[in-house]
A and B are shown apart, each in its own frame.
Chain A
Amino acid sequence: SQQGEEDPQALSIQEGENATMNCSYKTSINNLQWYRQNSGRGLVHLILIRSNEREKHSGRLRVTLDTSKKSSSLLITASRAADTASYFCATDTDSSYKLIFGSGTRLLVRP
């Protein structure tokens, strides 16, 4: 089953612009992670944020977590054509470490 939804489902922006994707989830979590998937490929881990953290940065990525609203956002600044991919949030809720994925956002960065 899917933990939650992501919006928008699809996003098209111009190179150099910022891209913001949102993820909502349903139950309490231990951690929330963001992954990128290029078309027809496996997943690349981007960033992990723990439930007691509110914001985290990694290069051009900024992730926020609001546990009271059960939501997270991923901001990609100064986007590049190479950022074109699908982005998924994933949560783990217990010691089994199972990841439950959101529905994903397809990002298109136009050169």
Chain B
Amino acid sequence: GAVVSQHPSWVICKSGTSVKIECRSLDFQATTMFWYRQFPKQSLMLMATSNEGSKATYEQGVEKDKFLINHASLTLSTLTVTSAHPEDSSFYICSARGWTPYEQYFGPGTRLTVT
């Protein structure tokens, strides 16, 4: 149980275009989802917290107009990178928290390359 999927697993897009990444909890309802970004050989940096039915809470330094997060249901959150630039190229990982406190279940990640 507690499986989280992400789609796509990798994507290449041209500079200036927008890319949407989906995060789904497959066998549980996620009250909260989190989005992280990870650069090569670095740690995960929390970007935002997404609660179903409400606006996402962004970490300091993360542009909310550039990284649009929508959590429309208890099993789906989306991250849209708008007007992507090469510096947005990164590994994006989501996680979902169910009813069990403290534990988060991580998706497999999405590798975004902006050319």
Binding site for B on A (CB under 8 A): 1-2, 30-31, 33, 35, 40-45, 48, 88, 92, 96-104, 106
Total A-B residue pairs with C-beta atoms closer than 8 Å? 61
Contact B43 A99, beta carbon cutoff 8 Å: no
**Chain B interface residue count, Cβ-Cβ cutoff 8 angstroms:** 28
**For residue B59, which residues in chain A have a CB less than 8 angstroms away from its CB?**
1
**For residue B32, which residues in chain A have a CB less than 8 angstroms away from its CB?**
97
- Quick check: is B27 within 8 A (CB to CB) of the other chain? no
Given A40-B91, A40-B109, A42-B108, residue A97 in contact with residue B45 (CB < 8 A):
no
B57-115: which have CB < 8 Å to A?
Answer: 59-60, 91, 93, 95, 97, 101-109, 111
**Alpha-carbon gap, A101 to B95, bound state (A):** 13
Main secondary structure of the interface of B (DSSP, over half): strand
> Which residue of the partner chain B has the closest CB to A41?
B108
Contact A42 B109, beta carbon cutoff 8 Å: yes
> Which residue of the partner chain B has the closest CB to A104?
B43
Q: Distance in Å from the Cβ of B5 to the closest Cβ of chain A?
A: 10
**Alpha-carbon gap, A103 to B39, bound state (A):** 12
Q: Distance in Å from the Cβ of A44 to the closest Cβ of chain B?
A: 8
Contact B106 A43, beta carbon cutoff 8 Å: yes
- Quick check: is B49 within 8 A (CB to CB) of the other chain? yes
